[in-house]
Amino acid sequence: MPKHGFWNKIIEIASGCWIWRGKLLDNGYAQFNTIVSGAPKKFLVHRYAFEAYYGELPRWEKNGDLELDHLCRNRSCVNPLHLQLVSRKENLERSPLWRENSILAMRAGQSSPRDKAGRHYS
């Protein structure tokens, strides 16, 4: 891989994760700012790396039907081999926080946990 500005901000650790050393958003995801066609553009780094490795994400993923799941559970990891396209439901169900929220939801009498937008999955 070429070592230009983007790739210089990545270090590989023993787990195989490629850790982003640039800007992290409050939610832990990595963000990369660059210029595209003369205009500034922001990218989520794991998506950028996934597309650099595998090619452009399928259109249905960009419409929200599929998401990239961090198999390593590390949001700052940008290793495309640690990313998998899955449904939103599957991504949430794989999350340790989702399992914890499921238990809390059941204790509160809800049929299923809800995401930040109030959607629930059964």
- The dihedrals phi and psi of 29, each to the nearest 5 degrees, come to -80, 150
Q: List, as one string, the DSSP characters of 74-108.
A: -TTB--GGGEEEEEHHHHHHH-HHHHHHHHHHHHT
Mean pLDDT of 4-26: 90
Per the structure, the complete domain to which residue 90 belongs is given by 7-55+63-107
Give me the residues paired with residue 43 across strands.
Answer: 32
- Asked if residue 93 is part of any domain, the answer here is yes
Residue 47 or residue 60, greater confidence: 47
> What residue type is 17 in one-letter code?
C
- Asked if residue 30 is part of any domain, the answer here is yes
Report how many domains make up the chain.
1
> What residue type is 75 in one-letter code?
R
* pLDDT higher than 80, residue 41: yes
- Asked if residue 70 is part of any domain, the answer here is yes
- Asked if residue 120 is part of any domain, the answer here is no
Mean pLDDT of 56-74: 78
Residue 122: the pLDDT is 43
* pLDDT higher than 50, residue 2: no
The CATH number linked to 72 is: 3.90.75.20
- Asked if residue 121 is part of any domain, the answer here is no
- Asked if residue 74 is part of any domain, the answer here is yes
Residue 13: the pLDDT is 96
